[in-house]
Chains A and B, each alone.
Chain A
Amino acid sequence: MSQPPADDPLARLRAATQARIGLGRAGHAMPTRACLDFDLGHARARDAVWTPLDMEAVTAQTGDWPVRMVRSQAPDRATYLRRPDLGRELAEADGLPSGPFDLSIIIGDGLSARAAQAHGAALALDLRNRLAGWSLAPLVLAHQARVALGDAIALAMGARFALMLIGERPGLSAADSLGAYLTIDPRPGRMDSERNCVSNIRPPHGLSIAQAGEKLAWLLTEGRRIGATGIALKDAAPTKDRPHVHHQSHAADPARPAAGQAVAGGDGDGGSFPP
Chain B
Amino acid sequence: MYRIDLAGTRHRFPDLKSLLAAATPLRSGDELAGIAAESAEARVAARHILADLPLKTFLTETVVPYEDDEVTRLIIDSHDAAAFAPVASLTVGEFRDWLLDDKVRARELSAVCPGLTAEMVAAVSKLMRNQDLIAVARKCRVVSRFRSSIGLRGRLAVRLQPNHPTDDPAGIAASILDGLLHGCGDAVIGVNPATDNVDGAIALLHLIDDLRLRYAIPTQSCVLTHVTNSLQAIERGAPVDLVFQSVAGTEWANRGFGIDLALLAEAQEAALSLKRGSIGNDVMYFETGQGSALSAGAHHGVDQQTLEVRAQAVARAFRPLLVNSVVGFIGPEYLYDGRQIIRAGLEDHFTGKLLGLPMGVDVCYTNHAEADQNDMDNLLTLLGVAGVSFVMGVPGADDIMLNYQSTSFHDALYVRDVLGVRPAPEFEAWLDGMGMLDVRGRVAPPDIATLPLARAIADQRFPTQ
Contact = CB atoms under 8 A, between A and B. Distances in A.
A273 B292 contact: yes
Contact of B174 (A21, A41, A260): A21
A69 interface: no
A13 B396 contact: no
Interface stretch (A42-50, A52-60, A224-232): A42-50
Contact of A271 (B163, B224, B288, B366): B366
A218 interface: no
Interface in A22-38: 22-23, 25, 28-30, 34, 38
B397 interface: yes
Given A9-B454, A273-B295, A256 B256 contact: no
A249 to B, nearest CB: 8
Interface string B396-429: 1111111111001010011001000000000000
Contacts of A46: 367
Given A19-B398, A28-B444, A252 B296 contact: no
B331 interface: yes
B178 A81 contact: no
B410 A82 contact: no
Contacts of A175: 367
Interface string A81-99: 1111100000000000000
Given A8-B449, A275-B256, A84 B333 contact: yes
Interface in B28-50: 28, 31-32
Contacts of A64: none
A61 B253 CA distance: 43
Contacts of B52: none
A12 B226 contact: no
Given A19-B398, A272-B331, 7 more contacts: A9-B457, A10-B178, A172-B398, A241-B195, A256-B246, A256-B287, A270-B403
Contact of A20 (B288, B292, B395, B455): B395
Interface string B79-123: 000000000000000000000000000000000000000000000
A269 B295 contact: no
A28 B366 contact: no
9 contacts: A19-B175, A171-B367, A250-B226, A252-B224, A256-B192, A264-B296, A269-B331, A272-B295, A275-B296
A255 interface: yes
B367 A45 contact: yes
B304 to A, nearest CB: 11
Q: Which of the listed residues A14, A20, A175, A243 has the most CB atoms from chain B within 10 Å of its own CB?
A: A20
Contacts of B417: 28
B331 A271 contact: yes
Interface string A223-262: 0000000000000000001010000011111111011110
Contacts of A158: none
Contacts of A217: none
Closest 4 CB pairs of A and B: A20-B396, A171-B403, A17-B171, A252-B196
A259 B403 contact: yes
Main secondary structure of the interface of A (DSSP, over half): loop
B238 interface: no
B316 to A, nearest CB: 18
Interface of A: 7-10, 12-23, 25, 28-30, 34, 38, 41-42, 45-46, 48-49, 81-85, 111, 168-175, 200, 241, 243, 249-256, 258-261, 263-265, 269-275
A23 B331 CA distance: 28
A169 B403 contact: yes
A9 B373 CA distance: 28
Contacts of B257: 250, 254, 273-274
B25 interface: no
B396 A23 contact: yes
Given A18-B400, A250-B257, A274-B256, A28 B413 contact: yes
A18 B163 CA distance: 10
Nearest to B324: A255
Contacts of B256: 250, 254, 273-275
Interface of B: 28, 31-32, 162-166, 168, 170-175, 177-178, 181, 192-197, 224-226, 229, 244, 246, 248, 253, 256-258, 287-289, 291-292, 295-297, 326, 329-333, 336, 366-368, 372-373, 395-405, 408, 410, 413-414, 417, 444, 448-449, 454-455, 457-458, 462, 464
Given A82-B28, A82-B336, A252-B224, A271 B404 contact: yes
A255 B171 contact: no
Given A23-B396, A170-B403, A253-B224, A16 B464 contact: yes
Contacts of B224: 252-253, 256
A12 B462 CA distance: 9
B398 A173 contact: yes
A41 B246 CA distance: 29
A12 B197 CA distance: 30
A255 B462 contact: no
A111 B170 CA distance: 31
A253 B296 contact: no
Q: Which of the listed residues B196, B373, B397 has the most CB atoms from chain A within 10 Å of its own CB?
A: B196
Contacts of A15: 462
Nearest to A25: B410
Contacts of B163: 19
Given A10-B457, A172-B405, A258 B196 contact: yes
Contact of A38 (B197, B373, B444): B373
B226 A243 contact: no
A68 to B, nearest CB: 27
Contacts of A171: 367, 398-400, 403-404
A161 B163 CA distance: 35
A250 B258 contact: yes
A255 B292 contact: yes
B400 A273 contact: no
B193 A42 contact: no
A243 B464 CA distance: 17
Nearest to B200: A241
A256 B403 contact: no
B59 to A, nearest CB: 29
B329 A271 contact: yes
B246 A169 contact: no
B168 A17 contact: yes
Contacts of A200: 165
Contacts of B400: 17-19, 171-173
A188 B414 CA distance: 49
Contact of A17 (B174, B373, B444): B174
A253 B246 contact: yes
A10 B175 CA distance: 10
